[in-house]
A and B are shown apart, each in its own frame.
Chain A
Amino acid sequence: MARYLWGRIAQAVLVLWIAFTVTFVLLQALPGDAVLIKFQGGDLNLTPAQLEEIRLSYGADESLLVQYLHAIGNVLTGDLGYSVQAGVPVTTLLAANLPSTLVLASLGFAVAVVLAVGIALVSSLTPFAWLRNVLHSVPSLFISIPTFWLGITLIQIFSFRLKLVPVIGGSTLESLLLPVLTLAVPISAPLAQVLVRSIDEVSVQPFVSVVRAKGASPSWVLWRHVARNATLPALTIAGVLLGELIAGAVVTETVFGRTGIGRITQDAVNNQDVAVLQAVVLLSALGYVVVNLIVDLLYPVLDPRITVRSGDRRANRRAGARVATGASA
């Protein structure tokens, strides 16, 4: 077990390093830079020579390789660099913005899970075929709604027409309501789809007939047998959905004018604020790796057929546990 964990941590470090390097190369390849965007034009009217001087002060005169090694060294010592645009260390920027994004993302995810489970359970327990059909088509609808459109529509309806939630201001809870919903709906869709499908698949397994032949009711079968067996594929998807969550947060924070990681990411992209972007990519990769490690560690808890063998660097997923791809980042 310890061996397995160390192996996974080594993998995680590798993933982080690759993510960092790829971002570094891509960002360097872009034309223009943050200095140009911040100081060119405007009232300052700096000459190219002066711009070059500012660049020197950021250490931009050194070769790319040296810059790269510097950057890596700094990251390893916990220094994520300096935001050219905001003029503060990136760590300060992240510390100020992370909490609000974490709250938004975790609430959004929780609501998405509730939505997905609700759709799946109601559609499999309902005696009405029409309701089942309606619920089965809901995920496809949800998945095709663009986040920005949903956000704007929700503001239109709930804030402007019905005047239930203020657009700006209001209590913390009120200000979270619409953003959380905007974020949750598109996330819930793939989750619900996978859940509905795996519940359908598990429900026709022979062991379900055996449980019914024991005299169990449909809800007994669903809660005690089908649910746990159907959770595994959904869990895998949940790990993958973290990416959607980050992308969704960027749009949601912009639409609702909230501060947060999504917002500084957007600003950093607009301003080519390389250090901030590097940090955001690193943070997202870290989130991915951690969430997927947790997911992988949860498999054996849910399904005794899956064992985490020491000496084996992969979780050994045996036949029977249909696990979608992409879980081990």
Chain B
Amino acid sequence: MSLLEIESLAVSYSTAGGIRRAVHDVSLAIEPGQTVALVGESGSGKTTTAQAVIGLLPENGRVERGRVLLNGTDIAGWNERRLRAVRGTQVSLVPQDPVSSLDPVQTIGAQIAEVFRLHEPRDRRPVLPRVLALLERVGIDEPEHRARQYPHELSGGMRQRVLIAIAVALHPRLIIADEPTSALDVTVQRNVLDLLDSLRREFGTAVLFVTHDLAVAAERSQRLVVMRDGRVEEQDDTATILQAPGSAYTRALLADAPAFSTVERVARPAGGGSSAAGGATTEAAPPTAAPPALAVTGLVKEFRRGARGAAFRAVDDVSFAVPAGTTHAIVGESGSGKTTTARMVARFETPTAGSIALAGEDITDARGAALRALRRRVQLVYQNPFSTLDPRQRIRDIVEEPLRNFGLGDRAARRDRAAELVDRVALPPSVLLRHPRELSGGQRQRVAIARALALDPAVFVLDEAVSALDVTVQAGILRLLDELQRDLGLTYLFISHDLAVVRQISDTVSVMRRGRVVESGPVASLFADPRHEYTQQLLSAVPGAAVPGAADALPTPLGDRR
């Protein structure tokens, strides 16, 4: 008998616009001790399915029909009171976002102890030793000290460990892990997933692993369930699906997953005439006489904590040069200083030391009118397409705004330009009159790109510009960026934590750690032969890197799909 069996589950939400079905007819089974990955894009119904299992649908959600058999007992129709006895003891949850998933005003220890207090209220044994043992088991040092700390005093990775400790406290039969590592850096992600794996083996717990990341799913699961639009598109053993995906959708997902595409960026003659493998290293001078589109030398940024606090070097002696028409990537984990570097290049921060040159012209100390003129040449595209567009403006106004700010063209000319830009980023003209909330994440990011293009800049600083998007959407944006670069000769500074994406879009790369560049060079050679230990660590932590055969099955270079 399967541990969990879902039979033709249908879930709907009642919204202002009427009843909306989110999940239609989903069936799947999980055996004891097995990891089943539920994969799909946002809106595919994967999280709704997982929530339905544990009876934690949002208030407006309802299981319309179908059965959820836990050890052969149908719990789909159970009321809240009966479900409470199952939650935490039989089925537990590891949530998506460790930062907001712990009560900010209670200590870590109290929140772990709560599981015992809820389910074993008459147990006379002291709870504290059990809490400390759990903390130690999930790899948190100084448990006594940590137990007394509050969530905000712990890093994201540590908080996720605490949440895992809560989930495994009573040795449940099934853990529902809902995107447990999406918010974490790759190396932290690997550690957390390893921990989950070892606990699964130790306690014989099954895991329902919900993720949008096919690479992670492929690496961690025995069985894959691919969902799309609330239905199961395909399900089978993970290895089988990777070798021979049955549905076109799964094939597209695999193709778009950056981790699986083996082919690096195609080297091509760039606008400045230098080859793609040009000179991102500090030693190598640009091969041509033309100055690089962007050159950064000995950049330093110090922040002070408080009025008399010690200085903290967020960026420490960073140098690189980007030939015109090429892409330079800065990779690193959170806190590595990559975003601070990007902000200095766009001159939203002033460097403590070092210099920044744009096409040979020093812009380090530009201020006033010069700084304003600089905005026309360097544009920024941010990570979150949901908060970078004014929700009250129409798309046309958003795209036109840079032109208005610089007083370029008359009203009619600006309108024409906006229409042209929207077309340029492959959006239909109808979006011009819409508001950001009516667009999808990918469409919004295209609008952000159109806005950045408005002033004909030479350099784009892309700060995690595709990190918040689903893989297929992400692939679309990357193709667009590539196309724009070829047509307009744009130079990109591409900030990312995702090495797989970096490999697809960049010519040269700098790896940053704790404010310093530990290694830099052309993408092809750096990825094939990483010299620095940290680069090796980062590369081996990329999910999917270890999946055998996955790459061979999917020879889909970016260049072929242009």
Contact = CB atoms under 8 A, between A and B. Distances in A.
Interface in B59-97: 80-81, 84-89, 92-93, 95-97
B152 A216 contact: no
A304 B152 contact: yes
Contacts of A220: 118
Contact of B118 (A214, A302, A318): A214
Contacts of A309: 306
A65 interface: no
A209 B97 CA distance: 12
Nearest to B152: A305
A311 B56 contact: no
A213 B103 contact: no
Contact of A210 (B150, B152, B166, B307): B166
Interface string B393-418: 00000000000000000000000000
A122 B177 CA distance: 34
A40 to B, nearest CB: 59
Given A206-B101, A229-B104, A215 B118 contact: yes
A218 B56 CA distance: 12
Contacts of B306: 309, 311-312
B105 A303 contact: yes
B450 interface: no
- Of listed B54, B105, B114, residue having the most chain A CB within 10 A: B105
A210 B159 CA distance: 13
A211 interface: yes
Interface string A192-230: 000000000000011101111111111010001100110
A42 interface: no
B119 interface: yes
A205 B150 contact: no
Contacts of B96: 206
A320 interface: yes
Contact of B93 (A210, A217, A224): A210
A125 to B, nearest CB: 13
B53 to A, nearest CB: 11
Interface in B86-128: 86-89, 92-93, 95-97, 100-106, 114-115, 118-119
B80 to A, nearest CB: 8
Contact of A209 (B56, B114, B308): B56
Contacts of A207: 100-104
Contacts of B100: 205-207
B163 interface: yes
Contact of B103 (A211, A215, A217, A218): A211
A217 B84 contact: yes
B307 A311 contact: yes
Given A212-B87, A215-B89, A215-B119, A305 B104 contact: yes
Contacts of A215: 84-89, 115, 118-119
Contacts of B103: 207, 211, 225, 229
A206 B87 contact: no
Contacts of B93: 209-210, 213
A193 B308 CA distance: 42
B95 A304 contact: no
- Of listed A214, A224, A302, A303, residue having the most chain B CB within 10 A: A214
Interface in B210-224: none
- Of listed B88, B103, B118, residue having the most chain A CB within 10 A: B103
B201 to A, nearest CB: 23
Contacts of B54: 213
A214 B88 contact: yes
A213 B114 contact: no
A214 B102 contact: no
A178 B88 CA distance: 50
A302 B104 CA distance: 10
Contacts of A217: 80-81, 84
A220 B121 CA distance: 13
Contacts of A318: 152
B87 A225 contact: no
A215 B166 CA distance: 12
Contacts of B106: 225
A284 to B, nearest CB: 33
Interface in B127-159: 150, 152
Nearest to B107: A304
A230 to B, nearest CB: 10
Contacts of A312: 306
Contacts of A320: 104, 152
Contacts of A311: 306-308
A228 B150 CA distance: 15
Contact of B56 (A213, A229, A305): A213
A127 B114 CA distance: 25
A210 B94 CA distance: 8
A121 B207 CA distance: 37
Interface in A83-105: none
Contacts of B88: 213-215
Nearest to A304: B150
Contacts of B89: 215
Contacts of B114: 211, 214, 216, 224
Contacts of B115: 214-215
Given A213-B54, A215-B119, A220-B118, A304 B104 contact: yes
Contacts of A206: 95-97, 100-101
Contacts of B105: 228-229, 302-305
B81 to A, nearest CB: 8
A309 B305 CA distance: 12
Nearest to A225: B103
Given A225-B103, A225-B106, A304-B105, A213 B97 contact: no
Nearest to A202: B103
Nearest to A213: B93
A218 B80 CA distance: 9
Contacts of A228: 105
Nearest to A319: B152
B127 to A, nearest CB: 14
27 contacts: A205-B100, A206-B95, A206-B97, A206-B100, A207-B103, A210-B93, A210-B102, A210-B166, A213-B88, A213-B92, A214-B115, A214-B118, A215-B89, A215-B118, A215-B119, A216-B118, A217-B80, A217-B81, A224-B114, A229-B103, A229-B105, A305-B104, A305-B152, A311-B307, A312-B306, A318-B152, A320-B152
Given A209-B93, A213-B56, A216-B84, 19 more contacts: A206-B100, A207-B100, A207-B104, A209-B56, A210-B93, A210-B163, A210-B166, A212-B56, A214-B87, A214-B118, A218-B80, A220-B118, A304-B105, A304-B150, A304-B152, A305-B105, A309-B306, A311-B306, A312-B306
Query: Which 8 interchain pairs have the tightest Cβ spacing?
Result: A213-B93, A215-B88, A215-B87, A304-B150, A214-B88, A206-B101, A206-B100, A215-B84
Interface of A: 205-207, 209-218, 220, 224-225, 228-229, 302-305, 309, 311-312, 318, 320
